[in-house]
Amino acid sequence: MLRLNSRDPGFAEAFARLVADRRESDPAVAQDVTAILAQVRSQGDDALAELTQRFDGHTLTSEADWRISAEACAAAFAALDPALRGALELAADRIRDYHAAQKPESRDYTDAAGVRLGAHWRAVDAAGLYIPGGRAAYPSSLLMNAIPAKVAGVERLVVVTPTPRGEVNPLVLAAAHLAGVDEVWRVGGAQAVAALAYGTQRIQPVDVITGPGNAWVAEAKRQLFGVVGIDMVAGPSEILVIADGANDPSWIAADLLSQAEHDPVAQSILITDDAAFADRVAQAVTVELATLQTQPVAEESWDTYGVIIEVAHLDEAPALANALAAEHVEIAVADPEPLFARIRHAGSIFLGRHTPEAVGDYVAGPNHVLPTGRRARFASGLSVLDFMKRTSFIQLDDAALHAIGPAAVALAHAEGLPAHARSIEVRLAR
């Protein structure tokens, strides 16, 4: 775990190195993914079968090997413990309500020149959702991806998810039923992303691909952007906690580890103005780690990438937070508003001592698919808009064309495009 102090002479240089460290994939991953995409594009289902057997130990032979039926998803939902089913339904309801307010309205109006203008918002025809398997088999991720797509009005919703050695996570299936997913395919990795983008004999292509995954999945999405739309290229999870000494150190330690347990290369950072409190948090992390089933992953993350930054005053924290542009930012102080007002770059912000980031992962409502790797400087979390596109429209009558057409003719000639000018001039001359 790295310990920094803003009053030390070498702080600026050490902090700059921290900001520059993206913890993302190496060139070998990109080369592997390029080969996988080419194989799936040329061989289709045969490539999926070969790669799924190689990476997941799952044989794709019968229809049941390839695809999980709607009946199986419904049965998984019905078999849930009532309390867990209620929790899943609460999460779905809150996610749906929050995202419903994001749906944009189309516009249609006539301006002062008599020109009819506007834009129609429409959902994409089909969306593909990547839902991780193995260590990261999360029903919450399925809800966070599927529900905004449904709110947008996507007609065909396709899930791809790896089933290592044929094992299926029933909670993921239950979430698929609750969210109204249309297809669930038992394939994962970069090959699944390729299948969604290019289509195969069994899997029809989609227009947008969203959802978290490992470095190979993220790289596949990056390489396929343009063939399909994507939500973002996601890297390892990260959390920044800004906390004063009045907090319970065990609470803050738990918050830091809530992201560390995701991945050995996840990053947890604490900024505090209290050196003694920083010490107590570091000690509490050690205590908390001993109780976690995910200790090996969380401990490696904290030991390798964890950071505690001591500042003279918490007024320094917003500038550091803006440079870090973290996926999650907690402001654990009595009055978070002054600091909140100064933070421009963050995926999602959690205000006050009683708002742990983990509540946002499940039941708060806003999406937990958020930009990582300092991308919150220019990117936003997943929303309904990721599953929609806007088409503008224009209508002029003769009077409107005479009102604004001459200016367009002048600009077209100035740009050396006489055919552009001519298409307007012939109408003005009539």
Kindly report the length of the chain: 430
CA-angle at 349, arms to 348 and 353, nearest 5°? 145
74 vs 317: CA distance, rounded Å: 48
Catalytic residue among 327, 330, 345, 368: 327
Catalytic residue among 58, 262, 328, 345: 328
DSSP 249-304: HHHHHHHHHHHHTT-TT-EEEEEES-HHHHHHHHHHHHHHHTT-TTHHHHHHHHHH
Q: State the CB neighbour count (10 A cutoff) for residue 312.
A: 10
138 vs 261: CA distance, rounded Å: 13
- Catalytic, 402? Answer no
- Residue 212's nearest CA partner among 22, 25, 370, 56 is 370
**Rg (alpha carbons) of the chain, rounded to whole number:** 25
DSSP 135-154: GG--HHHHHHHHHHHHHHT-
- Orientation angle between helical segments 215-224 and 27-43, nearest 10 degrees: 60
- Residue 174's nearest CA partner among 246, 306, 86 is 86
- Catalytic, 71? Answer no
Tell me which residues are annotated as active site: 327-328
